[in-house]
Amino acid sequence: MRRTPKDTEESARIIGRRGLILGGIQLAFMGVLVGRMRYMQVEQADEFRLLAEENRINIRLLPPARGLIFDRNGVTLAENEQNYRVVLVREDAGDVDAVLDRLRKIVPLAPEELDRARRELDRLSPFVPVTVADRLSWEDIAEVAVNAPALPGVTPEVGLSRVYPLETDFAHVVGYVGPVSDYDLTQGYLNDDEDPLLQIPKFQVGKVGVEARLEAPLRGKAGTKRIEVNATGRVMRELGRQEGKAGDTIQVTIDSALQNYVQARLGEESASAVVMEPESGDILAIGSAPAFDPNKFVRGISVADYAALIEDDHRPLANKSVQGIYPPGSTFKMITALAALEAGVIDPQETIWCPGHKEVGGRRFHCWRRGGHGWVDLDSSLSESCDVYYYDIAERVGIEKIAAMARKLGLGQRYDLPMSAVAVGLMPNKAWKRENRDSDWVIGDTLNSGIGQGFVLASPLQLAVMTARIASGKAVVPRLVKSVNGVEQPAPPAPPLDIDPDHLRLIRQGMYDTINSRDGTAYGSRIVADGMRLAGKTGTSQVRNITAAERARGVTRNEDLPWERRDHALFVSYAPHDAPTVACSVVVEHGGGGALVAAPVARDIVLQALYGGTPPLSAYPASQRGTIRTRQQKLILRDPAEFTPGRSRA
């Protein structure tokens, strides 16, 4: 079939259009190739020439600045300082032993440092820089730089190292950092154990406290730099840099001035104290004594210093405020009383006879006052701390309701705080004993639990939470982190406790009379300043069994016993009684009586918190003011100038 002229013309037009499109695509492709070739041959000529000459461009990690930690007022608790060091890259060094021998003649290197460096160089990839010498002087770094041609693979660097300006005050709270260990890599708190930063020898990560629990946000993200080196490995210039992301800034709820006072007041006792706001749950101070200097761990603690810490029977490395668990003793009696009131098994005006003991099942359960208290009601049972009263009501209400009330008031719980080894304590019941002791619960267990002895264990933190909940009537939860990068961390409002407010008022009145009634066990630790009256409860928990023979001849006084066999002294309190703003718990290990040892400490701490500094002597009873003045003068406190907000070296 013949094609018409019109068909022929249309075909030619289509072919021509397709040819133009194809030609355009080819032309564009050629243009891209030419442009790319020009970019590579002209713009990147120097870089590719270097790459062709024995791979002389290195990429190195830039460790980020670790996040800073501040107190609630902006005082620096953990910061970074410049640290001069020397690193070595095995693939650039050639003969490593020869380079190390030359380096040793320039800067002082201990034999153990050299051995450690050689082990790390053999273990790690050849391109990973290994820190050979740390914390060098500027003169040493300058000497290394001058001799760089003779030290292939060696680079002097300026890095950052952690420092804790308030030293012992925050050792147990903030914690400290140290080089990454194999053990650290097995722990979940590092989150991403494939982070290349963790492979850098001597890279510091949190070991305990806030530093460890908030490791991921504090660590930040690594940056990189591209450097040009010559044939001997000497750095010629920096070709490019991508900065990393600094770690987050953390602000905690603690007041550093109050924390300093708490640590000073606890002194060298084996003791702890927790101070909270009853309405918000913010922790204002959380001390554990004796303490230690965390800077020694960052710099490398000596064998002698570490041995002294380990061998000290007062356990300075342990954070007793959250790790220590103790029988709460009579500080537990508010729980037993509330359980009985809520169950309706007692009337506040009901009196119970205390002859000094209670017999149950042929066994005698003793009161701390050998001759007994006589007739006592709820209020006097608290203020005078009558054991027999609580044996009686514990038997009536039963362990299950006592345990439920204890958990409602904060015992037997682990709080989600960024601190190490926060203890859960122990609030036992029948099921617990069957599962853990393979035996049935007996009435004696209930009576012992009713006065905070037996299997019951609580930490100072939990006792402070219990006190804050009684004082506020709210289910407050302790809080330690106030803000992150300046953004306030929301604290949901605490719901009201599911406890009759009238019952809580009765307990508060008993705690008030404990301190302000002449018959109260803590009358000697009262506050006389108007509007600042203290309410609280003493506690003394036994750490040994007292035999019948010892009771017959007279119980040995605590001061006549070896230190480790003495009772623990406890005291919980809040103030002001009418409008609480501070709740406090104090535990002195093997201190003896709570009224004589723990109560005066707690009163001083509470007054320091209420006044925001040293309280006037007029807040104390007139007869005690001379003693208090002498005590205040003996306390070694930090200069207020050290608590200047925002100080940082990073």
**Distance between alpha carbon 396 and the CA centroid of its chain, in Å?**
40
CA proximity to 319, closest of 352, 290, 295, 349: 290
Contact 253, 72 (CB under 8 A): yes
* C-alpha distance from residue 396 to each of 269, 327, 391, 400 (Å): 39, 22, 9, 11
Q: Please give the Cα distance from 117 to 88 (Å, whole number).
A: 9
Q: Count CB atoms within 10 A of the CB of residue 47.
A: 16
Two tokens, residue 365: 């359960």
Which residue spans within 451-609 are E strands per DSSP? 481-484, 487-488, 535-541, 568-575, 582-588
Q: Please give the Cα distance from 56 to 129 (Å, whole number).
A: 16
What is the residue whose two structure tokens read 């153990």? 112
Contact 566, 543 (CB under 8 A): yes
* C-alpha distance from residue 377 to each of 207, 374, 504, 510 (Å): 51, 10, 16, 10
186 phi and psi, to 5 degrees? -90, -5
| Beta-strand pair 69-70/250-252 | parallel
Q: Please give the Cα distance from 94 to 98 (Å, whole number).
A: 9
Contact 484, 356 (CB under 8 A): no
Question: What single string gives the DSSP state of each residue in 132-150?
Answer: EEEEE-HHHHHHHHHTGGG
User: Could you confirm whether 330 is annotated as catalytic?
Assistant: yes
Q: Please give the Cα distance from 235 to 183 (Å, whole number).
A: 35
Contact 594, 571 (CB under 8 A): yes
Which residue in the list 330, 420, 525, 585 is annotated as catalytic?
330
- Non-local (6+) Cβ contacts of 37 within 8 A are none
Q: Which amino acid is at 342?
A: E
Helices marked H in 545-598: 548-553
Q: What element of type H or E holds 162?
A: strand 154-163
Contact 59, 229 (CB under 8 A): no
Q: What element of type H or E holds 608?
A: helix 599-611
Q: Please give the Cα distance from 3 to 25 (Å, whole number).
A: 31
Two tokens, residue 413: 């719980």
Residues identified as active-site: 330
